[in-house]
Amino acid sequence: MFNIFPRIEYKINSYDTVKSIDINVAAKIKDHFAKFKFASLRQYYIGDGESPDMVSYRSYGTPKFGYIIMMTNNIHSIYDDWPKSSSALKKYIIEKYGSLGAAGADLYFYTGEKYIISQESYLELTDNKKFKETAIEYENRINTEKSFINILDYKYAIQFESGLQEILTN
């Protein structure tokens, strides 16, 4: 997809330049995308290990609309904002907490409104206004929440792409 974005030479230092995507078109793209804010959306659950292009293929019959799926759901980073596969999540938890055992022992404490609080504050609250979970439960919950996305109807994806191509070629 990014191959259709206009390129511009950026000066790195007094001798070197690099051709990169012209980020000045971002505002035009954002304005164009705003037109589709109230377009017909349907919920989609991202399966284990599915990538944006796989979701695009399943939803539209082509992998080329993965970037539209990411834009529709305000996903900027495939690593941080997209759900991890079960194996990638396990690796991430081990890297973050040191081991699965440590992640199983680490606790997060919350108010009933899901605000993270200290253990001391947690102990002072009544039972119906607090909850806790292990780091593994926390990471799994966050990852699962990322798995529920919205998909534009096919006709709007087509309209979006044709409008985008017009913006990028002008």
Opening angle at CA 142, ends 45 and 66, nearest 5: 40
Which of the pair, 141 or 130, is modelled with greater confidence? 141
Res. 130 pLDDT band, cuts 50 70 90: confident
Contact 122, 130 (CB under 8 A): yes
pLDDT for the residue 23? 59
For residue 52, pLDDT over 70 is answered with: yes
For 42, phi then psi, to 5°, come to -130, 150
Classified as helix, coil or strand, 32 is: helix
First to last CA, the chain: 17
**Alpha-carbon separation of residue 10 from 3, 21, 130, 150 (angstroms):** 17, 9, 52, 36
Domain ranges of the chain: 2-38+51-75+153-169, 86-144
Half-sphere exposure of 43 (CA within 13 A, CB side): 5
Q: Name the burial class of residue 74, with classes exposed (0-12), middle (13-18) and buried (19+) by CB atoms within 10 angstroms of its CB.
A: exposed
Classified as helix, coil or strand, 131 is: strand
Res. 114 pLDDT band, cuts 50 70 90: confident
pLDDT for the residue 2? 56
The pTM (predicted TM-score) of the whole model is 0.72
Q: Which helix (H) or strand (E) holds 10?
A: strand 7-11
pLDDT for the residue 165? 74
